[in-house]
């Protein structure tokens, strides 16, 4: 296939705006799948189907014939099928379906670096949302051709006119906007034809976007093979499978290749692409997207963003991706200490196809050996935990979340590292963008104020408001999403990025259960909110931690000062139920014996703390 007939594009949108459904219709039109196949075919992970979201990007190769539309038009008109005046033109469409949730923006940025065009999808029932704007900016920075599409026009709740105005506010004309129903397939072919018409064919050396480590410079010139690894996975039998985009040369079975970042040499054993089923080929060439299987078994040798070239004629290294910067930190501990190596192996395998995951070993006196993990958000952490438990049969304890703090110039992300005597205490500030209907302006302003935030800018976009604010990152973690959705009846959405560190009055809040400090429940909080936060937390823990045979005190402390206390009442057993009559001293004797037994339990008893207790901080 000529490079001029290749189109590389991705689908980007806010969560639940219909990317995966539109991908289904495009695959049907191109004949890759038959009608009646399972919906959201590219969301193959069990968790993707359960949550109804895309977690992992998927790269699919499709073949589209421009005569398809001509055939259907003739069929509608009951005219003979003749296309003598319209020659068949075949195109290769490399479609990449991307996630829509803010926690998986890194997956989107990797997709944008491997394509020339982006289809920006907007739900006609919801309009432009926070992640819509974020993906629009990412696509602009990557110098992509952007095709705006309004989806769900068949819905009774669709407000097409309002959505058009909001998209026009982004700089598009009404003529550029395509109105489709991914559910019924209406006008989906027009999207394909527009992609072929507007998205340029792969350029040998395209410009770079902000998703890469350098901006708007030319790719290094080379005559040999240059391929960018933008995704990878692990097959237990075949080893590492790398998904690549070729920016020069071609790669064949039997080639001796070199991974420039890790200096790893390997032999290409298999080449192919997804259609969506794996299809093996002898080679892939400049401009194409596919996968390669080598003899590499070591997970650390293949890094997303690395350059693949040949050993015989090595080319220059392509600019790789910026390192993903985690913003939320949690610790993972196996409930069975013997599963420590199993947990490590699971994290290593997940990191292979999740470059945004970071982890390092740590130990705790109460929880044993575990790993400190960094994530792009709480959903990212939750998905990782569930994948570890399901795919690797692990039972994990997850500690309360934290963020980075700067203490006397040193970055820490654990409450145990916090030094209250430090001269300089700083916390990260999040630059937040909120989209919501205008009538919710008042409640959103109050919420921003309650979270120690400050409004910076307000802009009208159609019938909605775009509110920009600066809020401490730790405040976003503690109930902000739920409170925002509740205050706006679910209509608001938000996106954020990390800004600067600012001086703040921070203190370390310790939680004591039965007079013993629990490391996993310690928090770094703002001094002015510490007493209220501590009181609410122990109240939550009282409801979550199960009752024992003895009364359990719960205390919140700052330094040596107890600022809040609750008590979990003990189970009461009627030890006198078998007594029938007799002297009252018999009853007193049994009660006294029970009292002494409970004193001994209080001295030696261990308290089981459920997983929900460690995450109670999120529900305050």
What pLDDT digit, counting tens, does each position of 508-522 carry? 999 999 888 888 888
pLDDT range class, residue 82, cuts 50, 70, 90: very low
pLDDT range class, residue 479, cuts 50, 70, 90: confident
CATH assignment at residue 251: 2.40.30.10
CATH assignment at residue 466: 3.30.70.240
Owning domain of residue 383: 328-401
388 and 347 in a single domain? The answer is yes
514 and 476 in a single domain? The answer is no
166 and 272 in a single domain? The answer is no
pLDDT range class, residue 17, cuts 50, 70, 90: confident
* 3-class state of residue 317 by DSSP: coil
Residue 375 has phi, psi (to 5 degrees) of: -135, 165
Question: How crowded is the C-beta side of 253, counted as CA atoms within 13 Å?
Answer: 7
Task: Evaluate whether residue 317 is within a structural domain.
Answer: no
Average pLDDT over every residue of 192-203? 89
Task: Evaluate whether residue 208 is within a structural domain.
Answer: no
Task: Evaluate whether residue 318 is within a structural domain.
Answer: no
Provide the pLDDT for residue 160.
93
Task: Evaluate whether residue 265 is within a structural domain.
Answer: yes
Residue 524: closest CA among 376, 457, 458, 425 = 425
578 and 592 in a single domain? The answer is yes
348 and 472 in a single domain? The answer is no
- Indicate whether 98 pLDDT > 90: no
458 Cβ partners below 8 Å, 6+ apart? Answer: 441, 465, 466, 467, 468
Beta strands in 160-318 (DSSP E): 178-179, 226-235, 239-248, 250-252, 256-259, 264-274, 278-281, 283-285, 289-294, 307-310
572 and 495 in a single domain? The answer is no
Task: Evaluate whether residue 349 is within a structural domain.
Answer: yes
| Domain stops at, among 385, 401, 417 | 401
Q: pLDDT tens for residues 344-400?
A: 999 988 887 777 788 999 888 777 899 999 988 888 888 898 889 888 889 888 888
Tally the domains of the chain.
5
485 and 550 in a single domain? The answer is no
| Domain stops at, among 178, 198, 218 | 198
Average pLDDT over every residue of 305-319? 84
- Indicate whether 456 pLDDT > 80: yes
172 and 68 in a single domain? The answer is yes
289 and 334 in a single domain? The answer is no
118 and 245 in a single domain? The answer is no
CATH assignment at residue 38: 3.40.50.300
158 and 58 in a single domain? The answer is yes
- Tokens coding 279: 């299809």
Quick one: three-class SS letters along 425-494?
A: EEEEEEEEEEEEEHHHHHHHHHHHHHCCCEEEEEEEECCEEEEEEEEEHHHHHCCHHHHHHHHCCCCCEE
| Domain stops at, among 503, 524, 559 | 503
166 and 32 in a single domain? The answer is yes
Task: Evaluate whether residue 414 is within a structural domain.
Answer: no
Task: Evaluate whether residue 214 is within a structural domain.
Answer: no
Task: Evaluate whether residue 302 is within a structural domain.
Answer: yes
């Amino acid at each position: 296939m000529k490079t001029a007939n290749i189109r590389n594009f991705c689908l980007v949108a806010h969560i639940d705006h219909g990317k995966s459904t539109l991908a289904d219709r495009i695959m049907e039109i191109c004949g890759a799948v038959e009608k009646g196949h399972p919906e959201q075919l590219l969301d193959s992970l069990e968790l993707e189907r359960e949550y109804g979201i895309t977690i992992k990007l998927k790269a699919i190769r499709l073949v589209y014939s421009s005569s398809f539309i001509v055939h259907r038009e003739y069929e509608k008109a009951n005219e003979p099928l003749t296309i003598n005046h319209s020659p068949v033109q075949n195109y290769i469409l490399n479609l990449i379906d991307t996630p829509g949730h803010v926690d998986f923006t890194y997956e989107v940025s990797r997709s944008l670096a491997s394509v020339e065009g982006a289809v920006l999808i907007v739900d006609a029932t919801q309009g432009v949302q926070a992640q819509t704007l974020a993906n629009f900016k990412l696509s602009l920075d990557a110098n992509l051709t952007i095709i705006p599409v309004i989806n769900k026009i068949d819905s009774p709740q669709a407000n097409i006119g309002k959505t058009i105005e909001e998209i026009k506010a982004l700089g598009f004309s009404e003529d550029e906007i395509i109105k489709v129903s991914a559910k019924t397939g209406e006008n989906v072919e027009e999207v394909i034809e527009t992609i072929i018409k507007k998205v340029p064919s792969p350029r040998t050396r395209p410009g770079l976007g902000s998703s890469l480590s350098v901006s708007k410079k030319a790719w290094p010139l080379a005559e040999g093979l240059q391929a960018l690894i933008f995704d990878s996975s692990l097959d237990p039998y075949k080893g590492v499978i790398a998904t690549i985009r070729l920016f020069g040369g071609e790669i064949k079975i039997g080639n001796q290749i070199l991974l420039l970042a890790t200096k790893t040499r390997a032999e290409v054993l298999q080449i192919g692409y997804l259609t969506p089923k794996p299809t093996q080929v002898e080679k892939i060439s400049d401009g194409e997207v596919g996968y390669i299987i080598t003899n590499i078994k070591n997970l650390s040798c293949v890094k997303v963003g690395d350059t693949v070239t040949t050993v015989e004629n090595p080319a220059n290294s392509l600019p790789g991706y910026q390192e993903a910067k985690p913003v939320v930190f949690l610790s993972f501990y196996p409930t069975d200490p013997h599963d420590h190596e199993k947990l490590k192996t699971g994290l290593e395998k997940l990191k292979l196809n999740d470059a945004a995951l970071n982890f390092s070993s740590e130990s705790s006196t109460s929880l044993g050996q575990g790993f400190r993990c960094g994530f792009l958000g709480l959903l990212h952490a939750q998905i990782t935990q569930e994948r570890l438990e399901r795919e690797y049969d692990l039972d994990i304890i997850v500690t309360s979340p934290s963020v980075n703090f700067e203490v006397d110039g040193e970055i820490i992300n654990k409450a145990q590292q916090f030094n209250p005597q430090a001269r300089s205490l700083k916390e990260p500030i999040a630059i937040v963008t909120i989209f919501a209907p205008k009538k919710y302006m008042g409640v959103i302003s109050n919420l921003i104020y309650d979270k120690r935030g400050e409004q910076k800018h307000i802009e009208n976009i159609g019938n909605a408001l775009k509110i920009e604010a600066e809020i401490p990152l730790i405040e976003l973690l503690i109930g902000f999403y739920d409170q925002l959705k509740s205050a706006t009846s679910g209509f608001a959405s938000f996106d954020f990025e990390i800004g600067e560190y600012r001086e703040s009055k921070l203190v370390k809040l310790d939680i004591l259960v039965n007079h013993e400090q629990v490391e996993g429940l310690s928090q770094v909080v703002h001094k002015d909110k510490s007493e209220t936060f501590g009181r609410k937390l122990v109240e939550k823990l009282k409801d979550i931690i199960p009752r024992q045979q003895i009364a359990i005190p719960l205390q919140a402390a700052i330094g040596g000062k107890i600022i809040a206390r609750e008590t979990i009442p003990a189970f009461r057993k009627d030890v006198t139920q078998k007594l029938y009559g007799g002297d009252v001293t018999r009853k007193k004797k049994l009660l006294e014996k029970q009292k002494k037994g409970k004193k001994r339990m209080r001295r030696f008893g261990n308290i089981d703390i459920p997983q929900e207790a460690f995450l109670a901080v999120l529900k305050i």
